[in-house]
Amino acid sequence: MSTWIIDGTKISNEWRLELKARVRKLKQRGITPGLAIILVGDNPASRSFVRLKEKACSDVGIHSELHHFESADQDQLVGLIDQLNTAGHIHGILVQLPLPGHIDPASVVGAVSPTKDIDGLHPLSIGRLATAQETFHPCAPLAITKMLQHEKIPIAGRHVVIIGKSNLIGKPLGTMLVNRDATVTQCQSITEDLFSLTRQADILISAAGKAGFIGREAIKPGALVIDAGMNRGEDGGVCGDVDADDVMGRAGLLTPVPGGIGPLTITMLLHNTVKSATGMF
């Protein structure tokens, strides 16, 4: 069996061309989509992610502004968010996670106006998602569902197993797939007899955060394997949850890391910002 590798970078570049055209039309109407990014501290990974997001905004013509605090308390962040909530030139507000331990992320994210919650993490956004109403979808789950749609992979009626329960990926992704009539089994890395469940999956999605966690014995022959993990390997390089070499020839489809879901996730951030600027929500 051959394994079909999905080129997330190629798909992302196609979508960004479409977004660039949409932004150009908005600017002709006097609207420049604007994204505010809030970063606290000097976490190297966070700074790297922020640079990628700033560059992506620049590439499609979205205005971005970075509010970087070397240190800050919760009241400072909420005060800034209150200002950005009423700023006419800002359509999306992104709080780069994780935040330092002395700050409650739920309180900070909850301060973002639901109309500018382009990360889809506000309680109202989560509630609307759970009830299948129009809302902003979290970017990584949206990237996964859009990728499946782009590749014309049917979801309805199929058994999807998700490893991971985070608010960023696992929980909202499960809801989004249930809303599209999939049969979803939600797991985590400590689920008892986990691999007996993963071997039943038509579509296996791993966001466990464990390098090389998924090998060929964990998947059903021909399964579609989506690697949503982002880890550092022993050599310091970026790798996913899936041992790609091991599953080759057994998986029917595989998203690589890097170059799979990652670039699509950033593109969905741009998508949600443009969506906000057009007044669609």
Residues annotated catalytic, as ranges: 53, 96, 119
**C-alpha 277 chain-centroid distance:** 20
Buried b (16+ CB within 10 A) or exposed e, 127-166: ebbeeeeebbbbbbbbbbbbbbeeeebebeebbbbbbbbb
Give how far Cα 269 sits from Cα of 64, 103, 136, 142, 212, Å.
12, 24, 10, 9, 27
Count Cβ atoms below 10 Å from residue 234 Cβ, excluding itself.
8
Which among 157, 260, 158 is positioned nearest to 206, based on CA atoms? 260
Q: Which two tokens stand for residue 96?
A: 């780069």
Task: Compute the distance between CA of residue 240 and CA of residue 257 in angstroms, rounded to an integer.
Answer: 5
Give how far Cα 30 sits from Cα of 56, 65, 173, Å.
21, 19, 35
Task: Compute the distance between CA of residue 227 and CA of residue 260 in angstroms, rounded to an integer.
Answer: 8
Task: Compute the distance between CA of residue 31 and CA of residue 170 in angstroms, rounded to an integer.
Answer: 34
